[in-house]
Amino acid sequence: MHSDFRRTISDERQLVYDAEHGAVDRMWPTTIGDAISATTVPASGATTSALDSASSIVSAYFARLLSVLEDHAEQLSREIIFQGREGLTATRIDDLVEPHANELLDYASEPIYGAGFIATVDLLADAPSHLAWWQGADRRKLVFPPRSVKQGIDYRELEWFRIPSLTGNSHVAGPYVDYLCSDEYTMTAAAPVLVDGNFVGVAGLDVLIETIERRLTPPLRALGFPVLLVNGVNRVLVSTDPRLSPGDVLRHQPVLDRRRCDAVDLEIVVLH
Amino acid sequence: MFLPIGDAGRAELVERRIAEAIMGGHLRAGDRLPSEADLAHTMGVAPVTVREALLGLRSRGLVVTRRGRNGGSFVSAEADPLVFAREALVASSRFAIRDLGVHYAALTMAGTRLAARRAALSEVAAIRIRLAKLDTAVGQKPGASELSAWRQTMDDLQLELVALSQSARLTRDQMRLQAEFSPLLRLIDVDAGTRSRHRELFGSVLDAVEAGDEDAAGAATERLVGDAIDALDALRLQADDF
């Protein structure tokens, strides 16, 4: 991927986000709210426009997070190239990653719970696999005791590592109970780090479901329709429908309509 | 009650944490411990607290310290998780073992019941694939390290299944209780019949979760934990015969 191209995408995402947030703060309660209060039975046109609005709110939210993360992934990739891939050690990678992790954790717009880089299995000279990860209020570096349950986990199988490694694209994984890192109910955004076209690991950040709920519930509530935000396996991230809560999975509930989000593999669902 | 807590008692906490890792087989004979500074940093205590904890571990024979260029603190060559587990079992009353079983069963049942409601089929399938790999990984006469790997995989799969409940609290409690229960399970893992029975019982928990059948998932989990507790209780009774 060419960096200028990426820059353009990032800027566009930023603009979309800013536009949406202006809209969230000022427009939804008036225009959409009035449209809905005018009729007690939701007309299908109103459902459609609420779904579109919900989808752009969610897309903008994740697009902004991903663009920040992708910028760091790209910088990190340049630093690894500058440093030289040969003889790269765990300590050296930690030194390269830590400033990026700190910057992500400093991200003002949204509380980020954890951030860092996870190396592919054969990247480092002195370790078969490595997580350079900082998390929590005190930004503690993650260290696993050897042979603990956590140490034994093959993260190549985990969604946030597997999908960027296979597709070469960023991915937002979860929600899931992240017993590897945070021990919290989390979404993980991950961007591939490429060196000379080869995948060398993912740059990632964790956002707690609680954080996302706090951010997305008010604008989604303001749509006036109960909606669900679900992931690829129909698991609920955020819900303004009292019948389902975060963590529940859509199974037999009758779906009225659904809409994909642009920047991220998530969907908005409205139930009957 | 309003007295400052301070660093007193923290050394014991650090000591207990490391001792548990050694006794549970997560740190093994000959493994090098991180440096005092690294331990202090990652565990969020003062270096002097780590030093005190290491002193305690040395006096209990769990850790040895070597000087020189390749020096540092190492897990003692005699550290054998099975020996520690047997000591822990004999030191426990039958009541305590049964009670641990009741607690572990209640928690795990709650987790798997919820998983039956909330797991995606692909997630259950991923656990099943790892369970199937475990079938071939254990031969007829496994050595200590194969048995250890077997236990670790079983623990990991059980934790993964409970995590599918989507409950962070249940998953954290499962990790804590598993750290207590798992070292004892190594004592019954040595029996091939027990291993194959437990693999089969865990398979039926997965079947129920996959079918979305909460009641069956709870019942199968109860059978699995119950079987382990019965075996441990039998071992505990035998220990009194010597």
Q: Which of A149, A235, A251 sits opposite B156 (nearest CB)?
A: A149
CB A238 within 8 A of CB A264: no
Candidates A98, A134, A142, A149, partner chain B, best to mutate (most B CBs within 10 A): A149
* Partners of A48 in the β-ladder: none
Q: Examine residue B172 and state whether it is found in any structural domain, yes or no.
A: yes
A1 and B CB contact within 8 Å: no
Amino acid at A133: W
Q: pLDDT at residue A168 above 70? A: yes
Q: Examine residue B91 and state whether it is found in any structural domain, yes or no.
A: yes
A235 and B CB contact within 8 Å: yes
Q: Taking CA atoms, what residue in A is nearest to B155? A: A149
Structure tokens at A188: 């993980």
The count of domains in chain B is 2
A152: which chain B residues are within 8 Å (Cβ-Cβ)? 152-153, 156
Structure tokens at A59: 């897309």
pLDDT at A103: 96
For chain B, the residues whose C-beta falls within 8 A of a C-beta of chain A are 21, 25-28, 31, 34, 38, 41-42, 44, 117-120, 122-123, 126, 148, 152-153, 155-156, 159, 163, 165-168, 171-172, 175, 178, 212
Question: So where are chain A's domains?
Answer: 3-62+215-271, 87-210
Which residues neighbour A208 within 8 Å (Cβ) at sequence distance 6 or greater?
A111, A113, A182, A184, A185, A186, A187
Class of the CATH domain delimited by A87-210: alpha beta
Q: Examine residue B179 and state whether it is found in any structural domain, yes or no.
A: yes
Candidates B14, B26, B74, partner chain A, best to mutate (most A CBs within 10 A): B26
Please state the three-class secondary structure of A79-127 as a single string. Answer: HHHHHCCCCCCHHHHHHHHHHHHHHHHHCCCCCCCEEEEEECCCCCCCC
In this complex, do A148 and B26 lie within 8 Å of one another by their Cβ atoms? yes
Residue A239: exposure state from Cβ atoms within 10 A (0-12, 13-18, ≥19) = buried
Which residues neighbour B176 within 8 Å (Cβ) at sequence distance 6 or greater?
none
Q: Which of A140, A185, A233 sits opposite B122 (nearest CB)?
A: A233
| Distance from C-alpha of B63 to C-alpha of B31, rounded to nearest angstrom | 10
Q: Which of the listed residues B21, B45, B79 is the one where a domain comes to its end?
A: B79
Determine the structural domain holding residue B101 and report its residue range. Answer: 82-239
Say yes or no: ipTM exceeds 0.90.
Answer: no
Interior angle at CA B226, CA B224 and CA B227, nearest 5: 65
Q: pLDDT at residue A152 above 80? A: no
Check whether residue B122 and residue B68 sit in a common domain: no
Q: What is the pLDDT along chain B (242 residues), one digit of tens a residue?
A: 555 455 568 888 889 888 888 887 878 888 888 888 888 877 778 899 999 999 999 998 999 998 888 888 999 988 888 888 999 999 999 999 999 999 999 999 999 999 999 999 999 999 999 999 886 666 667 888 888 889 989 999 999 999 999 999 999 999 999 988 999 999 999 999 999 999 999 999 999 999 999 999 999 999 999 999 999 999 999 988 76
DSSP 8-class letter at A229 = E
Q: Which of the listed residues B79, B100, B124 is the one where a domain comes to its end?
A: B79
Check whether residue B100 and residue B74 sit in a common domain: no
